[in-house]
Amino acid sequence: MRATIVCGLGFGDEGKGETIAYLSRRVRPDLVVRFNGGAQAAHHVKHSGVRFRFSQFGSGSFEGVPTLLSSFTFVDPLLLIDEAERLKGADLASPFSLLHVDAEAVTLTAFHAYVNRIEELSRAEDRHGSCGLGIGVAFQDERSGAPTMRFADLYDVSLLRRRLQQIREHQIERARSVMGAAPLSKQIEELFTDLCEPAMPEFLVERYTAVARRVRCVDGLAKIRESSTLLFEGAQGMLLDMEAGFFPHVTPSHTGPRNAERLLDAAGFTGERTTLGVTRTLPTRHGHGPFPTEDPALFFERDNNLKPGFQGSFRVGHADRLLLRYALDCMRPDGIVLTHTDYRPDRICVAYKEQSGALVESIADLPEPKADALRRCRPVYESVEITPPRDVIALYEERMLDRNPVVLASDAPGRFIERSSMILP
């Protein structure tokens, strides 16, 4: 019995999807478990020469590996339909036959998304970097005791109809309170009009019941107990973690291995557990938030998320030892997956300089609030040269990873080099 947990060490976009797809081919697991986040994930996998973006389905789907959306995920039924149709177009004949959703998974509605976007747009220049799908809104509602829908509610039409009305009414009031305190734009007014559309609840009832007819609603822990070889596919990255990240530019979930460990504990799993932290040779960030080594001149042609979405533009920076070691301290992985090793960095950030001129050599040394402090910092670089027989992997192990071993490296989509079979499943 073995469980391998795959998490990102950055702000997302590290290569978790390709890692899960590779491990799915390698070990043929019984199950891929999604254990945080929701449809805002964008895990790109190369299949039959074409790049495919996974959001809610596991990245082992093309290998025929079933997916469990656990109780820690936020499920968007409408986007499930869209993703299943895209999978069919990519020659996966019956996507929903591979999907299992925990009955207790919080389920998103269009109302959550409308309010999420209204709130984010109202922040103007102080946007948090939200993807605008409603996950933060649903998370806050669940914690506060506001009307919340679980995936099991989709299977009881009268309950579903009632729950949607409750959520709609609550979100209208929430939107009004936001709009009363901020200048209104045409975009915000249009979103509020859509939120108040009286026909929307019945439209959602029809679409959600159609999803319920095709998707298996399960006891997620029982599904884990049935499996002996598991892959846990994380979303976002350690630097966006709700506790370890730089508030308010965080995601409303634990992005490290915590949720996966809790699921394994609750299921009574007694097998071996391994956590792999995924990072890349040049860091990226999608949307708003501090990014000390950002360099607009950098461009890497095979990055997948270059098109700006609601959350903002795709940003690239130089290797940052402080942020990477902070993420390693928070996650404590057993091994490292290093992606984009075909890129050769010419410098690494080894410290920051504050506006006062003081040198910062660890994230722990930053004053609170750390997001503001990080935004004011300027990188201090050391030049590096990569010459044979030394390669970029050796550079990272020596200068960046604080003695954490690289066990798997990728220099092209779908192509990996194994460097240690002891830690890999």
The overall average pLDDT reported for the chain is 93
What are the tokens at 149? 């829908």
Contact 388, 374 (CB under 8 A): no
Q: Picking from 6-15, 179-188, 251-260, 276-285, which range would have the lowest pLDDT averaged per residue?
A: 179-188
341 is in an annotated binding site: yes
pLDDT tops 80 at residue 388: no
Task: Give the residue-averaged pLDDT of 246-270.
Answer: 97
| CA–CA separation, 36 and 30 (whole Å) | 19
| CA–CA separation, 302 and 336 (whole Å) | 21
Domains 2-101+219-418 and 106-215 equal at CATH topology level = no
279 is in an annotated binding site: no
The confidence score (pLDDT) of residue 163 equals 97
Question: Tens digits of per-residue pLDDT, 304-363?
Answer: 555 667 767 889 999 999 999 999 999 999 999 999 999 889 999 999 999 899 999 999
Residue 393: what residue type? I
15 is in an annotated binding site: yes
| CA–CA separation, 390 and 392 (whole Å) | 7
| CA–CA separation, 250 and 239 (whole Å) | 8
More confident residue, 241 or 310: 241
236 is in an annotated binding site: yes
What are the tokens at 63? 């290998």
Q: Is 91 left (phi over 0), alpha (psi -120 to 50) or beta?
A: left
The confidence score (pLDDT) of residue 291 equals 97
* Share of residues in the chain with pLDDT > 90 (%): 80
In the structure, what pLDDT confidence band is assigned to residue 302 with cuts at 50, 70 and 90?
A: low
Q: Picking from 53-67, 111-125, 206-220, which range would have the lowest pLDDT averaged per residue?
A: 111-125
pLDDT tops 80 at residue 255: yes
Contact 31, 68 (CB under 8 A): yes
Strands 284-286 and 229-233: unpaired
340 is in an annotated binding site: yes
217-235 burial code (b ≥16 CB/10 A, e <16): bbebbebbeebebbbbbbb
14 is in an annotated binding site: yes
> Catalytic annotation on 303?
no
The confidence score (pLDDT) of residue 380 equals 98
Task: Give the residue-averaged pLDDT of 72-94.
Answer: 95
For residue 418, the Cα-to-chain-centroid distance in whole angstroms is 25
Backbone dihedral angles phi then psi of residue 397, each to the nearest 5 degrees: -65, -35
What are the tokens at 375? 């935004």
173 is in an annotated binding site: no
pLDDT tops 90 at residue 276: yes
Task: Spell out the domain ranges in the chain.
Answer: 2-101+219-418, 106-215
* Statement: 2-101+219-418 belongs to CATH 3.40.440.10: yes
> Catalytic annotation on 43?
yes
pLDDT tops 80 at residue 299: no
pLDDT tops 90 at residue 295: yes
Task: Give the residue-averaged pLDDT of 187-211.
Answer: 94
Write the CATH number of the domain with boundaries 106-215.
1.10.300.10
Q: Which residue has the tokens 């948090």?
A: 128
Q: Which residue has the tokens 């409603």?
A: 134
The confidence score (pLDDT) of residue 287 equals 83
Smallest Cα–Cα separation from 221: which of 31, 2, 77?
Answer: 31
pLDDT tops 70 at residue 390: no
237 is in an annotated binding site: no
In the structure, what pLDDT confidence band is assigned to residue 194 with cuts at 50, 70 and 90?
A: very high
Task: Give the residue-averaged pLDDT of 258-270.
Answer: 99
Task: Give the residue-averaged pLDDT of 112-126.
Answer: 87
For residue 296, the Cα-to-chain-centroid distance in whole angstroms is 23
The confidence score (pLDDT) of residue 301 equals 58
In the structure, what pLDDT confidence band is assigned to residue 402 with cuts at 50, 70 and 90?
A: confident
Catalytic residue among 13, 102, 141, 153: 13
The 3-class secondary structure across the chain, one letter per residue, is CEEEEEEECCCCCCCHHHHHHHHHHHHCCCEEEECCCCCCCCEEEEECCEEEEECCCCCCHHHCCCEEECCCCEECHHHHHHHHHHHHHCCCCCHHHHEEEECCCEECCHHHHHHHHHHHHHCHHHCCCCCCCCHHHHHHHHHHCCCCCEHHHHHCHHHHHHHHHHHHHHHHHHHHHHHCCCCCCHHHHHHHHHHCCCCHHHHHHHHHHHHHCCCEEECHHHHHHCCCEEEEECCCCHHHCCCCCCCCCCCCCCCCCHHHHHHHHHCCCCCEEEEEEEEECCCEEECCCCCCCECCCCCCCCCCCCCCECCECEEEECEEHHHHHHHHHHHCCCEEEEECCCCCCCEEEEEEECCCCCEECCHHHCCCCHHHHHHHCEEEEEECCCCCCCCHHHHHHHHHCCCCCEEEEEEECCEEEECCCCCCC
